Structures are given as structure tokens and as C-alpha cells.
Structure 1
Amino acid sequence: MNTSREQYVREVFVREDETLLAVRQSIRDADMPSISVASEVGKLLSLVVQMTGAKRALEIGALGGYSGIVLARALPADGELVSLELLPEYATFAHENLKKAGLGDKVQYRTGEALDSLQKLHEEGQRFDVFFIDADKVNYSNYLDWAIRLANPGAVITADNVLQGDRIFDEGEQGESVVAIRAFNQKVASDDRLESLLLPFGDGLVIARVK
């Protein structure tokens, strides 16, 4: 999607409020990576949660809490977001931002390797209605497998950064993350358990429904 199209979508359909803008600023002030989801992706995630009637959401990768706020806001009053984050300091930072947004009680953070946390969630018998994958790209395919295991029937799985700055189209690009995302996209598209599509929003968003 070219810049003019993105700008049009953002100006007409997406309006970041002061809370979300403050999260972006807090991330910059803390010298954390400025890699929160694009505003239009955030709006789509919110719509997915609301349109599916989801009560439980799982995000893999918390960073500063932007996507956490978008997801938690869209959940019903009795809904819950479980957020997996490798770094405890990032989880604490994200939680503080959700508390400022009045959503601190709707989220549970689990820190450490996401694959370990996913195994634990499975052992606990937990299930989710919406998933958002936005962490280390090398493990996207593994995260997909776990999401399907943890999914309620009809659950929606989303994953960000699946275009890798359009590098996935250049076969000369053989970096670890690019190769991993190519494999992930093919896996999502060909898995008989899923109905899926890649949307050219932001840096690309895969959205899939578990049959």
C-alpha cells in the first residue's frame, strides 16, 4: 500500500486518541523500539474483537502496551487479555500504560520465552477467541501451531509484519526473519484448518479463522 493510501485511511477511518498517542510517546521517551502496530492495524484488531464477540484474547509480544490497549478496550467488561512478553521490564512498562488507560485489571502478563508460556497455557486448559502475534519472526510458525491448539472454534488469529517491508517479494533477501515469514505465510495459506488472507495494512497483517 503506498503512502497516500495509508494516509487517506488514517485520516478518514482512524483517529488515535490521546491515550494511544501517549503510549507511542512513552515508548519513544523510554528509548524502546518504535515498532507498535500501525494505527489502521490497531483499528482492525479492535473491529475483529468486537465483531467476533471475543471474550478472551492472547497477544504474543507486549512491547509498550499499544496493541494491548486496543485489544483490551474492545473486549467486553468481563473479558480478559493474556499478554506474553519476553522481557519483564517491557511487561511492566506495558502494564503501566494499560493501567493509565483504565484497563489494568483486564490484562494478565506472563514473561519469559513465549513458547514456554504457550505450553503452560495449554497445560492449564486455557482457550482463546482472538490471537495477535507480534513477536520474534523466526517463531511465527511455532506460534501459529500453538494458537490453533489454544483456539476456541471459530477463533481468529492475526499476525503483524508479514510483508517485512516488502522484502518477502525479493528472493534475493534471505535474512532469517524474511525467510521465516515467507514460510509462515505459506503455512497459514495452505493449512486446511484455517481460512486466511493477507491484508496489505501497515507492514502486512495476516488474518485467519480457525474452522
Structure 2
Amino acid sequence: MKNEVNYINDLFVQEDDVLKNIITGLDERELPQISVSPEVGKVLYMLAKISGATHALEIGGLGGYSTIWIGRALPETGEILSLELKQEHVDFALENVKAAGMEDRISYLVGDAVESLDQLTTEGKKFNFFFIDADKPNYMYYLEKAIQLAMPGALIVADNLFQGGRIFDEEDDNPSPVAIRAFNEKIAVDPRLESTILTVGDGLGICRVKSV
């Protein structure tokens, strides 16, 4: 029997061969299966499309699954910069980006995202769409840097804000749920943001930057 996710995916999510092959390709290369779910991919597409995003920054790219969803929502002149820690992930992502015909619009910075964000801040770069899906203990830092790099009205989207339900267990003091609890509380009250969390996937945070 179908559940809500199956129903939504069947009706609204159209994964083509490029996207489907990323999932099988991760297995073949023994890379982690931590891409966003198909329904989250579609929401990313919708958010980027509705917001009129033109310059996107992704923190955590893996095999390019979310990158391609976002990229397909941007205009032909749009650009995505993806920050990824490991070269092997970027090598695979580039194969997929090329298969999607988007190699001219997507670029990568390889290395520690903290250092890459510091570099982008120093260079005065600006973006109007952000997707945070990387190491959870650094989410608060990524949020602050995203706000600094944001154009007014930019969207900051963050994945895994429920941590598989672990954030609801106050006795779970492991680094990831502790960091995500703090992140959620921050976006709820930060005066620079208008925020909420959608109950899609593992909890998808959406923040609109009011001022920078």
C-alpha cells in the first residue's frame, strides 16, 4: 500500500535516467548513499524556480543529485558553485553534471567548506540561493556565512533538520543532533531571517534573508 511519500513521488517527481543513475553509481563506487530524497529534490527545484534564483551556492555536493535539481530550476545564465570536501565525489559529480548538459553552469571548490566559505567572503561573492547539506556540527557556521554571502531576499535551505527523529530526544547529546537543535532554534529567532521547517524528507529548513 502506498504511503504519502510514494504518492507524492509518483505524481510529482520525475526522475530521469541522469538522476536515477547517480544512485546506482554511488553504489558502484562504494560512495555514501546520502543524496537528498527525490521529493526533497523536487522541493529544491520548486524553491529555486519560484524564488527566481540565479546564483546558487551548495555546501555539500556528493554525486551531484541535488546540484542537478537546483540547476534545472535556474535560468540559462544561472550558475551554481558547489563546495565538496572530497575529490572523488567531485569527479563523479562532474560525470553526472556533464550527462545533464550543465557542465558550463556548475563549478566546484574542493576542500574544507569552512575554508572555502572564508575565501568566498573575502572575495565578496554574493548568491541568492543556498543549500546546506554537509557535516552537521558546522551547520551554524555555514548559516552565518550564508547570511554574509546572501543578496537581500535570498533563500537558505538546509537538509536533515530532524536527524531521523534524534533532535526530539533531549538526552541524545551526540554532536550532530546537538548542533541541529541549536541550528533550528537559531533560525526560528534570528531577526535577519524568516524561517520554517517543512516536514518533507528528514526535515527541510527554509530561511528567507531579510537583511544582511
Give the Å deviation of 1:158.
0.3
Question: C-alpha separation between the residues in 2 aligned to 1:164 and 1:175?
Answer: 11
Could you say which residue in structure 2 is the equivalent of 1:94?
A: 93
Give the Å deviation of 1:16.
1.3
Counterpart amino acid of 1:205? L
Question: C-alpha separation between the residues in 2 aligned to 1:31 and 1:203?
Answer: 23
Could you say which residue in structure 1 is the equivalent of 2:143?
A: 144
Greater Cα shift, 6-15 or 70-79: 6-15
Could you say which residue in structure 2 is the equivalent of 1:6?
A: 5
Aligned residue runs from structure 1 range 71-110, under 5 A = 71-110=70-109
Could you say which residue in structure 2 is the equivalent of 1:42?
A: 41
Could you say which residue in structure 2 is the equivalent of 1:113?
A: 112
Deviations 1:131-172 (A, max 9, x none): 000000000000000000000000000000110001111112
Q: Number of matched residues?
A: 209
SS at match of 1:209: strand
Question: C-alpha separation between the residues in 1 aligned to 2:60 and 2:168?
Answer: 25
Identity of aligned residues (%): 52
Q: For structure 2, which runs of at least 5 residues remain unmatched after alignment?
A: none
Q: Normalising by structure 2, what TM-score?
A: 0.96
Could you say which residue in structure 1 is the equivalent of 2:126?
A: 127
Q: Normalising by structure 1, what TM-score?
A: 0.97
Deviations 1:20-47 (A, max 9, x none): 1111111111111111001111001111
Question: C-alpha separation between the residues in 2 aligned to 1:34 and 1:88?
Answer: 17
Give the Å deviation of 1:8.
1.6
Aligned CA-pair RMSD: 1.0
SS at match of 1:104: coil
SS at match of 2:101: coil
Question: C-alpha separation between the residues in 1 aligned to 2:72 and 2:10?
Answer: 21
Question: C-alpha separation between the residues in 2 aligned to 1:177 and 1:186?
Answer: 14
Question: C-alpha separation between the residues in 1 aligned to 2:169 and 2:5?
Answer: 22
Could you say which residue in structure 2 is the equivalent of 1:187?
A: 186
Could you say which residue in structure 2 is the equivalent of 1:176?
A: 175
Question: C-alpha separation between the residues in 2 aligned to 1:49 and 1:203?
Answer: 19
Counterpart amino acid of 1:47? M
SS at match of 1:105: coil
Counterpart amino acid of 1:164? Q
Q: For structure 1, which runs of at least 5 residues remain unmatched after alignment?
A: none
Question: C-alpha separation between the residues in 2 aligned to 1:81 and 1:27?
Answer: 22
Point out 4+ residue stretches in structure 1 off by more than 6 angstroms. Answer: none
Q: Does 1:208 align with 2:207?
A: yes
Greater Cα shift, 12-21 or 200-209: 12-21
Counterpart amino acid of 2:60? G
